[in-house]
Structure 1
Amino acid sequence: MKLTNTLLATAALTVATGSAHAESHMANDMTLVSWGGAYQASQQKAYVEPYQEMNSDVNIVWDESSNEAVAKLRAMNEADNITWDLVDVVAADAIRLCDEGLAMEIDFNEMLADGDDGSKAEDDFGDMLVSDCYIPQIVYSTTFGYRTDMVPEGADAPSEICDVFDLETYPGKRSLEKRPINNMEWALLCDGVAKEDVYDVLATPEGQDQALAKLGTIKDDVIWWSAGADTPQLLADGEVFMGSTYNGRLFSVIEEQDQPVAMMWDAQVFDLDGWIIPTGLPEDRLARVMDFVKFATDTQRLADQAKYISYGPARASSAPLVGQHAELGIEMGPHMPTDPANAGNTFLYNYEFWADYRDDIDAKFQSWLAQ
């Protein structure tokens, strides 16, 4: 769905030079939707707090429902009652929302700030712009952490993705996300499917069954998680030996909480987090959102987020500005999923595949879980 002339006019008004006339047309309340935890805290510190310092009359509240964004935006649209102003989603969900007309298309060069190096936004974000409706913020990965004090005597620390499926060498509970994404890919990799063939295989009913059969070999030893905070807590409590979660969550457990946990970067799955703007916002709310987005996605702000969490900024111009953690004083570069030392064997998430197959494979996966 292309932007209407009205929306374009409103957006242009918003990204103007901050005149009193533009300000008078902006709403003073804004609801942002994200994931909670360390990631949302990094957004609060890098984006919201400095924005509110410049706009003291603006009230911003958080809703931690990003994992349900597609379903909830569908329901809001059906009811003609959009209560969210700006929603953080992963790339595949952004593609689905865009295809369904639930997310607004973005004129990147017009609506977003140029890079500090003079580059236009479209060039600065480059390949991260995987959808016309999506404004990327960070590159993160889903990977595994494990308890260093639970490694069996005489065994090496787990270092390869297929160690997750090796209950003989590495007994103990695992935690996996309660959805097919990533789990199905890892299962096929560890069942002998070549990396470049994974999505071709997963597109077939037989390939889906193969992945579920491999997951079935550890199913009885899995605790399924839904919230990003679950695996870090399970690891901290010693309830699981190893578990998948977002690399920033593991950074928090290891570096901030000083838990006996280590990272296993092998076959980490790169993904993007970023903003979508729901279609159908009233003009005053859209104006406020666009003003905030232009500020919150500029070069400095994306670099600033990396002071609080180990996610790589989505703008090329931000990378050289990534420095030390704001509180710990440690260099953040080596903790990024994109660091060469961590990225020796990555798995590239296929956004288009999951945008096309998500609903059907979700249903099959949840039916398998219930068996």
Structure 2
Amino acid sequence: MVGVRRRDLRARMELLAAAGLETHDFLFEAAELLDRAMGVEFLCAASTDPATGLVTASVGTRPIELCDSEFTRYENADPADLNRLAELAVRPNPVGVLALESAGDPARSLRYREFLRPRFDFEHELRCVCRVSEVGWGAFGMYRAGGATGFGEDDATEIAALGPVIASGIRRGLLTGPVSTAPELTGPAVLVVDADDTVSAMTPDASAVLARLRPPSSGVVFGPIADAVAAVRFPGRRAAARVRAVTGEWWVVRAAPLTGAPPGAVAVTFERPGVVDLLSLVVAACGLTARERAVVDLVLRGRSTAEIARALHLSAYTVQDHLKAIFAKTGVRSRRELVARLRPPEPLGVDTN
């Protein structure tokens, strides 16, 4: 253990989660904090779309040769594999230690036999899905090499208490910072991923979107794309995710199989989100009530306080109380700021008149 005492870990993580960092920055700082406290060889952390569970951003604490498409392939190849994130996500306690899951025989896991041990010499794995009110916002895994001390039940208990704290930091970060204006698309933004996870074709607009979405050090088939492709090849999840670009704007990434193409080919599209896409994300991230969502929906339609009151059979004072609660939860100070956060700016170059 270096730099952070284990007994201070939760308090430090709570401060970090409340610091108002954007999601990618929070993930990086949270991963570094866990890494120093837990004394691991490698730790990776990701945010996920709460509606689909697909990866939206990811970070790692060490520069290892880890291909996102290879990771997702092994993660999904065997539905009965041990310590899978999809299985942890639906457990009452969403934390798993591979040694405990396998009764001391991690070689029972396909991921361990063919990926973790031969590629990285990782012997020990602890994973956690980060949830708040049963909604998943991210996940992380930590690894130690062969010969190192493994993870035990005490580690799992400690990490389980941190999961909701990390989830709160992730969802708070989704709404941090201004929503920037997306570039105008002149045509469909589509790329084709072949069975070997290489990109065989791409439209010019897809290339432009990727330049804004993709972290500088990652390949073309990086986290969100790799996970969307895996959702098509290994059915069970909806192949769509709302992803915030490093440049600030939101995109919806979708994947679908191709007919008439070589087996395994998948088309990936990038679209600007609609108001409903962002509204549902904000409702989940901020914990808005059904009534508060109804008020927000009418605000986005340009209705006045009096009109909202009549539509919802409320007094104007009650509507104002709902608005105050909405402003506090979403971190804005006015209707104008609320609309700006939930209504994606018009693309650059588009005449709105």
State the TM-score, normalizing by the size of structure 1. Answer: 0.26
Which has the bigger relative contact order, CA under 8 A and spacing at least 6?
1
State the TM-score, normalizing by the size of structure 2. Answer: 0.26
